Structure 1
């Protein structure tokens, strides 16, 4: 394979305070308030979290390289910088959305690894959604209503109140997500697992050995693996391979890089080593995977 062509331009959509009509990097409303926006760009990514609480849904979303069928009662939890391509009839949708940037909470929440404690944040093994019972969905939307009221009528302590409600909302969704997918919810004895996930986001293109991350954290590989297993239910090596594979698939599908260039980008010593890793993880060659995607076979 000589070249991987990106057939359409990917649009980056930043959070806009002006468009949202608020002074903070957060907003919530219903789709009826804002009109059709999901199909404004064929393919786009954002720099903020986007949560959708669907009362009525239809169609599907292509998130990076995955196809997600949309259903009534679904809570969709999208992390920043994920590529989105919506295939829906917007006029028939009924949902409330919540969008916010990670840095919105930093002044209030001292824990810089807080988002990594959310099991749905950049998850690769479980889906970025859960289904809510009617009473659960009503509670989520009630909390969003409190946030909206503060945004519409801000006073001196509005910021603190909004972050408090948001913090509570994120945690109860996290608890529901953990229960839905039977994920560990143990209280962390240390921050190693969350620091590891943070380092993966920063270094996945240049560091592909668990020992390198352990060295960076100044702990043993055994200690790191034990911490990751306790928090995420998988090994450190598994987490690394899945994050690397996620990045490779996105580059394969949505960039103009050749296999040789990808090998250089990801610090593989030889393109054959990259191709072997990809085949081991997916069961497909680069060419097969790309052809399947173009034929509407998504994973």
Structure 2
């Protein structure tokens, strides 16, 4: 059996600037210790990348995306990453802990309101033209400028810049991928997305989630289709397959993965994977 490649996890440094600040910004090309090579790694926080120059690919879980000027990449905590740079990359990286926004908005589901985070059925990157990209850079420079002269109330101004940026990015994403951009769909949909992140390994039926949410299967399907275009069961399956592919990508054995996700035996796991992808786990690994 092939060995499993170890993945290093990077954690946020909240006291880098003295008082606790759960957001940071930097230049990709100059930030100390920023991973820009083929090393497999993951972050325990959110990151948005804005590529101004360079080319190559960026692998996020099992998905590989091309890098070029105007590329914006969204990563959520725990996603496995790997860079393959062909031409030196430059641009901004903006990263933050969820509590930077959650505590202010008193909404633990806040980041689930945006289409691009915790995404497993659509792309986690987008290519934008010069004008919208420049609009993003203006807001990033505002954040960067505030970091250059931090004051007691800087966290409020930085949060305002970030909130504006997240909304604008959500509009761009919705326009590019033709999806619902309204961030105020029924709260049960966001609760479902949050539960799915935590329970997907062992709760794979719509009924399990409707019991947790105390709503009917019909209503859950209605709000899922409204915001994601998918049924609740499709969302569950997309999430599970995405996580399985991530572990196949890390070279874990089918047996180890099947028992880790609660399948009764590897043959049931193989059938489930083939039914949803059209190929076996072994074929998927070989294609990678």
Normalising by the smaller structure, the TM-score range is over 0.9
Question: Does residue 16 in structure 1 map to residue 13 in structure 2?
Answer: yes
Equivalenced residue count is 288
Question: Does residue 141 in structure 1 map to residue 137 in structure 2?
Answer: yes
Q: Is the 8 A contact 2:37 2:82 kept in 1?
A: no
Residue 164 of structure 2: which of 163, 168, 181 is its match?
168
What is the rounded CA distance, in whole Å, between the counterparts of 1:292 and 1:189 in structure 2? 38
TM-score (norm 1): 0.89
Q: Which runs of 5+ in 1 are unaligned?
A: 294-299
Q: Is the 8 A contact 1:52 1:97 kept in 2?
A: yes
Q: Is the 8 A contact 2:12 2:45 kept in 1?
A: yes
Name the SS for the 1:119 alignment partner.
coil
Residue 259 of structure 1: which of 247, 254, 257 is its match?
254
Name the SS for the 2:104 alignment partner.
coil
Residue 81 of structure 1: which of 70, 73, 78 is its match?
78
1:268 alignment partner in structure 2: 263
What is the rounded CA distance, in whole Å, between the counterparts of 1:89 and 1:187 in structure 2? 37
1:292 alignment partner in structure 2: 287
Closer/same/farther in 2, CA of residues 111 and 38 from structure 1, 3 Å limit: same
More strand by share: 2
2:148 alignment partner in structure 1: 152
What is the rounded CA distance, in whole Å, between the counterparts of 2:29 and 2:215 in structure 1? 51
Alignment of 1:194-209 (within 5 A): 194-209=190-205
Q: Is the 8 A contact 1:186 1:230 kept in 2?
A: no
Q: Is the 8 A contact 1:50 1:100 kept in 2?
A: yes
Q: Is the 8 A contact 2:23 2:96 kept in 1?
A: yes
Query: Cα deviations across residues 143-171 of structure 1 (Å, max 9, x unaligned)?
Result: 11111222222222211111111111101
2:67 alignment partner in structure 1: 70
Closer/same/farther in 2, CA of residues 21 and 51 from structure 1, 3 Å limit: farther
TM-score (norm 2): 0.92
Q: Is the 8 A contact 1:150 1:158 kept in 2?
A: yes
Closer/same/farther in 2, CA of residues 189 and 134 from structure 1, 3 Å limit: closer
What is the rounded CA distance, in whole Å, between the counterparts of 1:69 and 1:267 in structure 2? 34
Stretch deviating more after TM superposition (170-179 or 46-55) = 46-55
Which structure is richer in relative contact order (CA contacts within 8 A, separation 6 or more)?
Answer: 1
Question: 1:82, CA displacement in angstroms?
Answer: 0.8
What is the rounded CA distance, in whole Å, between the counterparts of 1:248 and 1:236 in structure 2? 19
Query: Cα deviations across residues 19-71 of structure 1 (Å, max 9, x unaligned)?
Result: 67884121112234426733367110001112111111211112111111111
Question: Does residue 218 in structure 1 map to residue 214 in structure 2?
Answer: yes
Alpha carbon RMSD of aligned pairs, Å? 2.1
What is the rounded CA distance, in whole Å, between the counterparts of 1:4 and 1:217 in structure 2? 41
Stretch deviating more after TM superposition (220-229 or 281-290) = 281-290
Residue 56 of structure 1: which of 19, 39, 53 is its match?
53
2:102 alignment partner in structure 1: 106
Q: Which runs of 5+ in 2 are unaligned?
A: none
